Amino acid sequence: MKKIIILLFISLFIFSCSEQEEEIVKVEKVDTTPKTILALWDSLTAWYGVWETENYPYKLWKKLEENGYKYDIINAWVSWDTSANLKSRASLYLEKNPDIVILVIGWNDWLRWLPVEDMKQNILDIIAMYEKDGVKIVLWWMDIPANLWLSYKSSFKNVYKEIADEKDKIYFYEYFLEWVAWDRMLNNDDLIHPNWGWYDIIVGKLFTFLEENKLINK
């Protein structure tokens, strides 16, 4: 009888251990792989006149990290890029499978007085490349100085609003150079490219926008 009781006890002990092992196996691992933000820009996102660690994409990455958001940021900039140039290279980043695409382009179209109709179509084509389930697209509109040809300025400015109206699933953000344009304290000597103070302001505004619109998550 004692042998039977001992065997029964051992069987119950082994069964209990196997149940615990099974429960451990079922525990799901937390995915800590960073998500990706793709910044499609021209030289305004580069580090002209500042250290590489002071540009906008790097500062945004630091801001996200400090607030518990795990994101990699691809700074896909090329100086003097027009919307047509950006369109021709935008497909190179598709394999990165970005979670968020932030698109700012247009100033170099203006500097070359390129047709705003072409600029609009180029931007729409870029959006179409990334427009798929789960990808969040932020279009940051641009403006040009008020002392220029007014009809061109009006058409240029309206391009972004027209795109936002046509593409209701993208996120439309206010003027990229708001608060900082032409301010000698926030720009390099050319009054076009930003200094570190300019980038601090932009990053603060953009971070708030991403959080308020629930575009980023922990």
Does residue 210 carry a pLDDT above 70? yes
As a whole number of Å, the CA-based R_g of the chain is 25
Structure tokens at 19: 């149940």
Identify the burial level of 140 via C-beta atoms within 10 angstroms of its C-beta, where 0-12 means exposed, 13-18 middle and 19 or more buried: buried
Does residue 194 carry a pLDDT above 50? yes
Does residue 19 carry a pLDDT above 70? no
* DSSP H or E run through 138: strand 136-140
**Under 8 Å between Cβ of 196 and 184:** no
User: If you average pLDDT over each of 14-18, 153-157, 165-169, 210-214, which comes out highest?
Assistant: 210-214
Helix (H, G, I), strand (E, B) or coil at 175: coil
Does residue 15 carry a pLDDT above 60? no
**Domain definitions of the chain by residue range:** 35-212
* pLDDT > 90: percent of the chain: 39
Specify the pTM.
0.77
**Under 8 Å between Cβ of 118 and 81:** no
Place 146 in a pLDDT band, splitting at 50, 70 and 90.
low
51 or 91: whose pLDDT is higher? 91
Q: 35-212 is classed in which CATH architecture?
A: 3-Layer(aba) Sandwich (3.40)
**Under 8 Å between Cβ of 87 and 126:** yes
What pLDDT is recorded for position 176?
62
What pLDDT is recorded for position 207?
94
16 or 174: whose pLDDT is higher? 174
**Under 8 Å between Cβ of 147 and 104:** no
Q: How large is the greatest C-alpha to C-alpha distance in the chain, in angstroms? A: 104
Q: How confident is the prediction for the chain on average, in pLDDT?
A: 78
